[in-house]
């Protein structure tokens, strides 16, 4: 369960997140939709304690992220899959992460298997494609078997087969009762993946509804999105 209340973040003159409130419930995939620069990544960074909010709060299972003990066992996050040091081998990267949160190193092999990186586990990350880095990032997010997943555009760089695989994996994770928040600007992908949508523009909440409410028969999610965005245009 993720709860965001009156969350606001101002960077000098720009208001990146503007009085945002929403709840992400367990057991379903919540799509976090918005154009580039709408405040999706900033919201996720605030949620993970990487930036301090100007006002408001964000909690995971009722607690601010920074107060969680062994946070990776509560929340798995994938922000920027390319933000890894290329000199390390994939299994070494997962090893230090596991060690930092007291997670058994024995989970690493199975996770590399799960994300389809088993043959590349001993290779240096520097030689990985974007798709492989996304898979590694997902393995890192799942390392602590967390109840909550926060994923920023995880399908970037994946091939069509990879996208299908990711979708199936996210659905199974949600079906296990986990809370899954996935940001994207790919409407068609969200239309077939998400159960619930949170739509933001210019840092403000535009819609928070089940996908069936937003997308009426005969229209696409893209139409619905443009419609929601259009209504908010100044």
Cβ neighbours, 10 Å, residue 158: 21
Shortest Cβ distance from residue 143 to another protein (Å)? 9
Q: How far apart are CA 55 and CA 18, in angstroms?
A: 9
Question: Contacting another protein (CB under 8 A), which of 35, 50, 114, 118?
Answer: 50
**Which residue's CB is nearer to another protein, number 111 or number 163?**
111
Three-state SS for 103-127 is CCCCHHHHHHHHCCCHHHCCCEHHH
Question: Contacting another protein (CB under 8 A), which of 96, 104, 160, 230?
Answer: 96
Shortest Cβ distance from residue 77 to another protein (Å)? 5
Shortest Cβ distance from residue 118 to another protein (Å)? 19
- Which stretch in 73-81, 158-166, 170-178, 188-196 sits in contact with another protein by CB under 8 A? 73-81
The closest alpha carbon to 199, from 219, 188, 212, 214, belongs to 214
Is 137 within 8 Å of 152 (Cβ atoms)? no
**Which residue's CB is nearer to another protein, number 84 or number 114?**
84
Question: Contacting another protein (CB under 8 A), which of 40, 45, 135, 178?
Answer: 45
CA distances from 167 to 13, 28, 59, 146, 172 (A): 38, 12, 26, 18, 9
**DSSP letter (8 states) at residue 51:** S
Question: Contacting another protein (CB under 8 A), which of 10, 56, 61, 89?
Answer: 89
On the CB side of 85, CA atoms within 13 Å amount to 8
- Which stretch in 94-102, 107-115, 178-186, 199-207 sits in contact with another protein by CB under 8 A? 94-102
The closest alpha carbon to 137, from 101, 112, 102, belongs to 112
**Which residue's CB is nearer to another protein, number 53 or number 131?**
53
Site string for another protein, 97-136 (x = CB under 8 A): x-xxxx----------------------------------
- Asked whether position 174 contacts another protein by CB under 8 A, the answer is no
Question: Contacting another protein (CB under 8 A), which of 51, 195, 208, 223?
Answer: 51
Q: How far apart are CA 163 and CA 9, in angstroms?
A: 32
The closest alpha carbon to 78, from 169, 8, 3, belongs to 169
Binding site for another protein (CB under 8 A): 11-12, 45, 48-52, 65-66, 68, 71-72, 77, 79-80, 82-89, 92, 95-97, 99-102, 140
């Amino acid at each position: 369960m993720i709860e965001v209340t009156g969350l606001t973040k101002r960077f000098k003159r720009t208001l990146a997140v503007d009085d945002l409130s929403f709840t992400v419930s367990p057991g379903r995939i919540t799509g976090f939709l918005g154009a580039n620069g709408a405040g999706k990544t900033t919201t996720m960074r605030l949620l993970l304690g990487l930036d301090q909010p100007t006002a408001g709060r964000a909690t995971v299972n009722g607690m601010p992220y920074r107060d969680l003990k062994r946070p990776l066992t509560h929340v798995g996050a994938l922000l920027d899959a390319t933000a890894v040091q290329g000199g390390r081998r994939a299994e070494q990267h997962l090893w230090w992460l596991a060690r930092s949160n007291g997670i058994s190193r024995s989970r690493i092999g199975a996770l590399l298997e799960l994300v389809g990186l088993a043959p590349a586990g001993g290779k240096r990350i520097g030689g990985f494609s974007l798709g492989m880095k996304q898979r590694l990032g997902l393995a890192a997010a799942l390392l602590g078997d967390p109840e909550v997943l926060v994923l920023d555009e995880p399908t970037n760089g994946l091939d069509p087969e990879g996208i299908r695989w990711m979708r199936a994996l996210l659905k199974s994770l949600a079906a296990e009762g986990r809370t899954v928040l996935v940001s994207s600007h790919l409407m068609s992908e969200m239309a077939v993946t998400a159960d619930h949508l949170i739509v933001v523009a210019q840092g403000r909440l535009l819609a928070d509804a089940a996908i069936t409410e937003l997308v009426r028969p005969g229209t696409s999610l893209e139409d619905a999105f443009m419609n929601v965005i259009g209504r908010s245009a100044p």
